[in-house]
Structure 1
Amino acid sequence: MDWAALVGTVVGGAIVLAGQAVESMRRRRDQVGERSHAAALAAKDLFLEMASTFERRMMSMDRSYVAQNDPDYHRDLRSIAGHIYSIKDAPTRKRLLRAVEILGDIAGLAPVNRQSPDGVGLSICTVALNTLGANLRSEKIPASPLFQEYDEAYSALQEMYAEEYEEYRKGISSGTSDNTALTEQPPF
């Protein structure tokens, strides 16, 4: 038995297995990157479509449409969120998911910022598109004071909702509530 041939075969086999493992990891990483890129492009298209809708609405005089009451609007937001979850970059994903969350309550946010719901929606879509553009170009996420302002206003609005809900729950549990909170118009 030739020991040199045996050692050569074992070493050669180990090198081949290591090479295949490295190639497999590279292929997987490339596939994740491609899926992330495709998801970012799909989210960009949906944000562009939503922004153009807000733009058209701002130019029209019909103010009777409220996006939050439209089931298609919420379906579109869920679709955008589904694409965002596939984006690999965590800071980009976090900002875009927050943008979708804010878009889900633009009617409540508009009076806080003294802007029409369509104006708020268009501004948030613009921030989201800038974020996606930076991600697609592999650049750092741009700072956005406007988004920070909306984010803070939305957080304050969520706190107000939580306080009102807690007051309502206390009224029900103590028996002092006559369920008028369900029929009254909200103060905002």
Structure 2
Amino acid sequence: MASTIMARTRGRVLEQSHRPVPQVDEPSSNVCVYPTEAELEVLVAYLSSRHLTVVSIGCGEGFLEGLLEQRGVEVLSVDLEPSPAALASVQRQRCFCREIVRVPASALFDIPAPSSSALLFCFPRRCPLDAYLQAFPACRHVVMIGDDGGVTSPVAHALSGRPGWTLVQEMEVRGVMRPIWCVMYERAPEA
């Protein structure tokens, strides 16, 4: 793993011990997506049927990642290292998953992403999707969760109709607004 990794937030809020993620209506003002049990089952079935682990880019508090971990999915949760001005705010955030790896922007493309991983972008904002796809060509699966109206960037259907990508499955998921889409894509094998 890159030597530039800051600290790892290990399932805690500074002094608060990790506890199971509850199935709640609105877990936190920082959480944008809180899928139902049925929606989670669909996503977990997709990942499990392909024997995929997850590399979640921009995981925030790791709420969705924690839900996936509780259902047996191996997840690497990654978020940006906070600026000195934002450090106190980040330290107050809850951490719903086992661990969040915080990296500086310069190391975002150095994270380990094996070919058996799906890249997960949950409610991305100003995310350089094309740069990630180029940096991780061995990752053949991408899960995009967001809207199509421009709140998330890129939008959930960003890879739809794009050469080399197939929309495998899509569903609407519960969150802070409607509609929020969970769209699962597969990259075509290189010829």
TM-score (normalizing by structure 1): 0.20
Bigger share in helix: 1
Tell me the TM-score normalized by structure 2. Answer: 0.20
Kindly name which structure, 1 or 2, has the bigger radius of gyration based on alpha carbons.
1
